[in-house]
Amino acid sequence: MPKRDMTDDRLGSALRGLVDLVARLRGPGGCPWDAKQTDDTIKVYLLEEAYEVLEAVETGSPQEVCSELGDLLFQILFLARLAEERGDFGFSDVIEKITRKMIRRHPHVFGNAEVKNAEEVASNWARIKQTENGKSQGVCASLQNIPSTSPALLRAHRMGERAAKAGFDWADADKVWTKVEEEAEEIKAAMAKNDRKAALLEIGDLLFTLANLSRHLGENAENVLRNANNKFLKRFQKMEKELMDAGMPLEEASLDQMNAAWETVKECES
């Protein structure tokens, strides 16, 4: 059983040590590279580390997850340090603000509200979030608040999710599937006319609809596609090995030979 490390002394000491380390790196006699960094340069690393955490959670060991979480935390602390140097806020403000927000958004835990299930929790969360700035926001505003820099499939999922909370949604997955078939036919029609622009627009509609089909089936399309990407990569690697074992480098194989090796790999998986 791993030793718990959330005691006040160890947690406080570890966090203070990392905060001081970031300050040292940025301060006089610190690291020239760290001293040159800005919000714009660090945000790239923040995104990379977030994706590495995600990959570790999906495929890594607990030790890898632990390491990647540390890397992500470092980027968060670094950004907070930059803000503190400008006099905007400090890391303590970040912690206190998120603590207050989580307490406010969980009235069923920290207040007198009652909920029956996770769906009611999500509904309350959305309602509280809409009124946090002192005024209720419309559904359109909540859609606009989804970061445009989010991965497109994730953004499609969130937009469909928030529209659904306002009652604008398909009744069930079967209804979404009907729309998927409709969009596929529209792509086919555009391609028959050799209308590239229309075909691409319809492909976008199809991807958006598929993201909502995934949502109705209880999964985020971003996760679904990431899993498909990983499956393709593993199969491709096995296909290449299959060809190499047969004495045929991939770059010398014909498409028919590649397809045959691919089918062999698929059969071995079933």
Residue 114 main-chain phi, psi, to 5 deg: -120, 140
* 250/264 Cα distance (integer angstroms): 15
Predicted local confidence at residue 1, as pLDDT:
44
d(CA 35, CA 199) in angstroms, rounded, equals: 49
What is the pLDDT at residue 132? 76
Chain center to CA of 2: 29
Angle, helices 62-86/91-105, rounded to nearest 10 degrees? 110
Residue keyed to tokens 């700035």? 133
Distances (CA, A) of 80 to 26, 45, 75, 91, 188: 12, 14, 9, 5, 51
For tokens 């953004």, the residue is: 155
Structure pTM? Answer: 0.69
DSSP secondary structure code for residue 148 in this structure = T
Give the Å distances, CA to CA, from 256 to 62, 109, 243, 244, 263. 42, 60, 12, 15, 11
- CA distances 144 to 155, 220, 262, Å, are 10, 19, 43
CATH fold label, 9-104: Helix Hairpins (1.10.287)
pLDDT value, residue 133: 66
Whether the CB-CB separation of 161 and 142 falls below 8 Å is answered with no
Element (H, E) at 203: helix 196-216
- Write the pLDDT tens digit of every residue in 119-169: 889 888 878 887 776 655 667 877 888 888 888 999 999 999 889 888 899
What integer pLDDT is reported at residue 64 of this predicted model? 95
Burial (Cβ within 10 Å: 0-12, 13-18, ≥19) of residue 128: middle
* Coil, strand or helix at 6: coil
Helices (H), ranges, the chain: 8-26, 32-36, 39-59, 62-86, 91-105, 107-110, 118-131, 139-144, 152-165, 173-192, 196-216, 221-245, 255-269
Query: Which residue carries 């949502």 as its tokens?
Result: 215
Q: Return the pLDDT at 173.
A: 96
Residue ranges, the chain, pLDDT below 70: 1-8, 133-138
Long-range contacts, 59-67 (Cβ 8 Å, 24+): 59/230
